[in-house]
Amino acid sequence: MLKTGNTLIDAETAFTRARRGARMRKLRRARVQLPVYTGAHPVAATGGVREIALDEIRGTLEPSRATQFDERFAPVRAAARRRWESIWTAEERGVALPPISVVRVRDGYAVRDGHHRVSVARARGAVAIDAAIGV
């Protein structure tokens, strides 16, 4: 991604690009909503904090977040812009963000907290993210 040197402009551009990707996927086929795992019972993060692959994150525990992101965690609503851009800017400035919170599900992990951080990490091309794992 081409950087302008202005963090806010770069964040706005990245959000627009990520959201456009979600819209293009929707046009090519019916948008696949972020899966909601209702059978997973969130508990304290007793599994510790470790790095997990972003590709292992399969969905969410929060039904309201399923309407804000597509299956690739790309933002689908403009309402996510402010939070998304603030996380992008923080990462660009080297701010250490807290780990996301996930629980194990049958084929990977579901996010309890940190949906925007996952979305930004994917948009930035990251392959892994720090996560507090609930068991």
The C-alpha angle with vertex 101 and arms to 99 and 102, in degrees rounded to 5, equals: 130
Predicted pLDDT at 26: 65
CA 25 from chain center: how many Å? 17
Burial of 130 (0-12, 13-18, 19+ CB in 10 A): middle
Query: What is the per-residue pLDDT for 1?
Result: 53
Domain boundaries, the chain: 7-134
Fold category of 7-134 in CATH:
3.90.1530
- Mean per-residue pLDDT pooled into runs of 10, the chain (135 residues): 73 81 64 75 65 95 89 86 92 94 90 95 94 86
Give pLDDT, residue 40: 58
pLDDT at 82: 92
Task: Give pTM, 2 decimals.
Answer: 0.77
Q: Are 118 and 75 in contact (CB under 8 A)?
A: no
What is the Cα–Cα distance from 128 to 80, expressed in whole angstroms? 22
> For position 59, what pLDDT does the model report?
93
Return d(Cα 106, Cα 11) in angstroms, integer.
Answer: 34
